[in-house]
Structure 1
Amino acid sequence: MFRGISKASLDDRGRFAMPARFRDGLRARSDSKLVITIDRQDKCLLLYPDNEWLAVEKRLERLSNLNPAVRQLQRMLMGFAIDVELEGNGRVLIPPILRDYAGIDKAVMVMGQSNKLELWSEDVLQAQLVEWAGEGNRALDDLEELDGIQL
């Protein structure tokens, strides 16, 4: 399970040192094989241990691509999915096309999301936090799934 947030710097090749809080869990859950893809809703990237990604991919493959919304989702998530590796020294390469999509330049914010990690540009994440705070609970009001949850 991945939780928490850390900041990491990118080198000239677009690699960052995976924060220690996530590194061992990634190695244990994926044998250092990872998949990075784009998030369809937010301007960030999703980094999955390989086995978690395979489960997502299987669910996406079962959906009918005759539905235009499904086809778009498959194109976005599977079409941009790139296999990467957690190198022996703990670094991960973010491919240029994905860095460009997310606006990641000098630093990356690595945020745990249970079965995956989100990779954010620091500036994009700060702007998103302001937007989320401005929305208050309106975005959550209609979610029946949250009934009965106490935080």
Structure 2
Amino acid sequence: MRVAQMAPVFDDITFRYGRRTPVFSGFSLTVAAPATVLLGPNGAGKSTLMGLAASQLTPTDGALSFNRLRPEGRKQAAYRKSVAHLVEELSPTVQVLVSTHQTEDLAALYAQVIVLDQGTVRFHGSPAEFQALAPEATGDRERAETAYARLVGQEI
């Protein structure tokens, strides 16, 4: 798969808060779609992943890059400027990663769905593939909620 230049890439990331069990251990993910929604229950690691992507948190192992920059040493300022640019100037070439509990209009708003649970990617695909996990449900929202419940064993 060809990775977009602006794609956030998490490569074999390990992160923990203090001495607790790691939130992520050997976690790898490339967010290559222009608009990606990150779903998961409370405690799944969504906010931690966003904090890592913004370089507010630092992984204990592994590598993180965005726009081919890594948030290390003297390059941290350039990395953060690149991430800030992402928020300020949305265009078709910019990657957007959104963390939410909302499942309405997934297909209309996002090109990719990622479901996290306990620091593990349970699903990574298109909104159509996600909703296809619940073909018996009627309506986009119900299909998304049923698919989510099947993946993580609970409702959104």
**Fold match by TM threshold 0.5:** no
Q: Greater RCO between the two (CA within 8 Å, min separation 6)?
A: 1
Q: Larger helix proportion, structure 1 or 2?
A: 1
Give TM-score, length-normalised by structure 2: 0.26
In the superposition, the TM-score normalised over structure 1's length comes to: 0.27
